[in-house]
Amino acid sequence: MNEDDYDYESWKTIELERYGQVKLSDPITNIRLLISELKTTYWGTIDSILWSTVNVVVFAAFCWLLPIWTVLQFTLRTASKKTTGIPHVYKKYNEKLTNEFWLQLVEKLTHNTQDASFDLDLAEFHAVLTSLANEPVELVDDIIKMWNRDIGLTYHRFGHEGCVITMVYSVQKNFVVLAFKGSSVFNLSEWLIHATTRKIPAKNSVLPGLVHAGFYSALGFSTKSKATPDMEGSATFGNGQYKAPVEFDVKSVDVTDEIEDRHLDEVYEKYDGSGEGLMKVKLIYLKRQFGEQIPHLWITGHSLGAATATIFTSVLLWKRTKRGKISGIYGGVDIDSWFKLHGTFTFGSPRVGDSDWKDAMETILQNSYQFRPWDQPKYQFWRIINANDIVCSIPPTTLGSFLSKQDKSSRAPGLTLNDFHHLGTPLTLGYHGSFHNWDKERTIQDMLRNLVTEWVSVPVDLLRGSYSEKIMAILTFTTLGTIGLVRDHDIGEYIKNLQTLADLYERYERSYAAKAKLEGPTDD
């Protein structure tokens, strides 16, 4: 039982007096306690050395990479500008978005289920929207118009340095998806965020445990949170109760506001200077768009966007707990009465937080009936891993099984470097729909199987593949398959493998239906 659950007020006075009472303060050294403290100090020293070594290596690597990256960035950016028109991945998905499919998809997005299973259509939809979050607004405009089937599909993009969110929604169909932008190929600072391994606490009970400092700050939370404890839950937007100093300037990126709603951004600039204030303003903006409706909310992201989406999801779920309610974050915004919180799909997510954070969030997810209102759906969190995507394995914790030392007196881990964990139910994709693991972490055997599959397919790709597939086959052969560690992180690879799985299941269902039709009804 948690200590906070004890009813100390009902105790007798004598019980209160005797509780924790000490008769003698021993001036002699307690050898057992001394040894315990020496162990803690030893492992703390080793931990500090490991942290320092990793930080020095990362710093040196990026200093060495910076001049090379400047030239590479110019080349890649020049090549990308020559690409015109709507990419094939969006055109292909447009062919799938028939009126009938939209109806089925909307039903899945808005169904108030209490026990949802993994759905390939929802996964593919979120993956494509995650890819869309990386595109320029001019291209997004064209794609949204192309996808719209008289359902009022629109979007709104907002953000700041480090985190940009594309909000795709339909007031007519009553759903909204927040797609967090992933790492940009050109942005070296975002790759540095991936490489660092520093953890920090979220101030004022915004989150339990420790989370990756880079991912937490990328979302826009200050490491010194300006959120004030909302003990009575009465703080409201713009009433002057929450006035915090602006600690840094936040630059909006690709924000496309309607003219009549631009005052929201002006209020935001006066109200706060962080992502905390920005997200609160946009939640209010979103609520106004839907009026009296309660929209069904989904969250998704890829790479860095997957990490920030995970932290944002954690904040929303943590607010359902007693400690989370007094954090003051998004004060005045009643998430559970404004939205139907459905689920999160992440793609290529790195590890985000420590064991305390993971344990607390998994408790909320697995025992959601204890924390969520009765009219809210059971929250689903799906973490999709593509083949040999290396980002899903960082920060590395493979040595954790024998480096995880713990002091029995404090239960504090002696080594914290390897204390990084994922959140969400994992789903591992294989190449070309070759295999997938449900509710199971990827193993070394899975990655070796992927390498074999790729090597076997090299001759076929060289003979029958497209020009780009032939180039990739040559790279696969010359790098002994290790090119897949980076290539498999691309969101396009996620979409391709999800589509392959969807096509396989569709063919299987058609074959099964045709077979049943030929056999006809059976007599009992």
pLDDT value at residue 426: 93
DSSP symbol at 202: P
* 8 Å CB contact between 171 and 293: yes
Q: How would residue 436 be classed by pLDDT, with cut points 50, 70 and 90?
A: low
The reported pLDDT for the residue numbered 307 is 93
Contact yes or no for 340/296 (Cβ under 8 A):
yes
Tens of pLDDT along 373-390? Answer: 888 999 999 999 998 898
Residues in the chain: 524
277 pLDDT more than 80: no
Supply the DSSP string of 54-75, one letter for each residue.
Answer: HHHHHHHHHHHHHHHHHHHHHH
SS3 27: coil
What is the distance between the alpha carbons of residues 340 and 376, in angstroms, rounded to a whole number? Answer: 6
Higher pLDDT, 274 or 122: 122
Say how many Å lie between the first and final Cα of the chain, rounded: 56
CA distance 348 to 184: 14
Give the HSE-up count for residue 153: Cα atoms under 13 Å, Cβ half-sphere. Answer: 19
pTM for the predicted model, two decimal places: 0.78
Backbone angles phi and psi of 443, in degrees to 5: -115, 170
pLDDT in tens, 405-431: 444 444 445 556 667 889 999 999 887
- Provide the pLDDT confidence category of residue 79 given band limits of 50, 70 and 90: low
498: CB partners within 8 A, 6+ apart: 120, 123, 124, 127, 384, 429
| Structure tokens that stand for 405 in this block | 């030392």
Which of 479, 458, 492, 418 lies closest to 182 in space, CA to CA? Answer: 492
Domain 31-439 homologous superfamily, CATH = Alpha/Beta hydrolase fold, catalytic domain (3.40.50.1820)
Q: Would you state the pLDDT for residue 412?
A: 46
Q: How far apart are alpha carbons 87 and 166 in whole angstroms?
A: 18
> Domain residue spans in the chain?
31-439
205 - beta bridge partners? none
Hey, which residues does 200 pair with through a beta bridge?
211
Between 480 and 364, the more confident residue is 364
Handedness of CA 132, 341, 255, 249 (dihedral sign): negative
User: Which is more confident, 69 or 126?
Assistant: 126
Taking a C-beta distance cutoff of 8 angstroms, is the pair 275, 221 a contact? yes
Cα 132 versus chain centre, distance: 16
| pLDDT confidence tier of residue 239, bands split at 50, 70 and 90 | very low
- What pLDDT shows up at residue 174? 96
Per-residue pLDDT for 332 more than 70? no
Residue 313 buriedness (CB in 10 A; 0-12 / 13-18 / 19+):
buried
CB 302 within 8 A of CB 182: yes
- Helices and strands counted in the chain (H then E): 20, 10
Identify the CA nearest to 415 among candidates 403, 397, 407. 403
pLDDT score for 102? 94
Least confident of 77-81, 218-222, 277-281: 77-81
**Percent of the chain scoring above 70 in pLDDT:** 71
pLDDT at residue 268, rounded to an integer: 34
Q: What is the pLDDT of residue 244?
A: 34
Most confident of 59-73, 338-352, 421-435: 338-352
425: CB partners within 8 A, 6+ apart: 118, 380, 381, 382, 383, 439
Mean pLDDT of the chain: 77
Return the amino acid letter for 17: E
